[in-house]
Amino acid sequence: MNESKIKRVLQSYLHIVIAIFLGLIAILEGIRLRHELPYESFISGPGGYVFIVGIALLLFSLMSIINLQRKSLKEKSKNDKCQSGQESMQGNLAAGKPQNLFPTCLSFLLCIIYVALIKPLGFTLASIFYLASSLLLLRNSKKITILTCIVMIPILYLGLPAIGISVPKGILGF
C-alpha cells in the first residue's frame, strides 16, 4: 500500500475510530459514576450526562460510517460510468487544487459570534442560531436545517434542565 493511500485512509477513518473509543470510555465512565454517585434516576446525575455524551459519540460514529459508505458507493458508480480515458473524481487535494479557507474562517467567526450571543440571547437561542448557521454553511438544505432546529429546541430547553444542567437564560427566558 503506497503512502498516499495510507494517508487518505487515515484521513477518512481516524476520526471515527477516535469517536468510537471516546464514546465507549464515556459510556463506561457514566456507568461507573452511576454506581459511585447514586441519584434518584440514572439520567439526573453526572453519570447520566456522561453516558448520553458517549451514546451521542457512538451515534456520530455510526452516521459517519454510513456516510462514508454512501460516498464510496457513489464514487464507485461514477467511476464505472466514466470512460477509461476520462479523469475520475478525486477531490481538491488529490487533484492538486488549493483548499478554500473561507468556510473555515467563517466557521471560526460563527463560534465567536455564538460565544458572544450566549449571555444576551441565552444558551438555547444562541445554540439554535449557531446550529442553523453551521448547517447552512455545510450546505444542508433549508428543510433539513429547519427540521434539525425544531428538534433541538425542546432538547435544549427541556432536556438540559431535566438532567441537571443549568444554562444561561437570555432576554426571552430560555
DSSP code, position 138? T
pLDDT value of residue 165:
78
149-166 CB burial, b ≥16 within 10 A, e <16: beebbeebbeebeebeee
- Residue 98, classed as helix, strand or coil, is coil
Q: Is the pTM of this model over 0.85?
A: no
Place of cell 452511576: 34
Per-residue pLDDT of 66-96, as tens digits, reads 887 888 788 777 776 664 444 444 454 455 5
pLDDT value of residue 113:
92
Mean pLDDT, the chain, integer: 79
Lowest-confidence pick of 17-26, 42-51, 127-136: 42-51
pLDDT value of residue 89:
43
pLDDT for residue 131 is more than 90: yes
Identify the bridge partners of residue 169 per DSSP, sorted by sequence position: 122
Per-residue pLDDT of 25-48, as tens digits, reads 989 998 888 888 776 666 667 777
98 CA to centre of own chain:
25
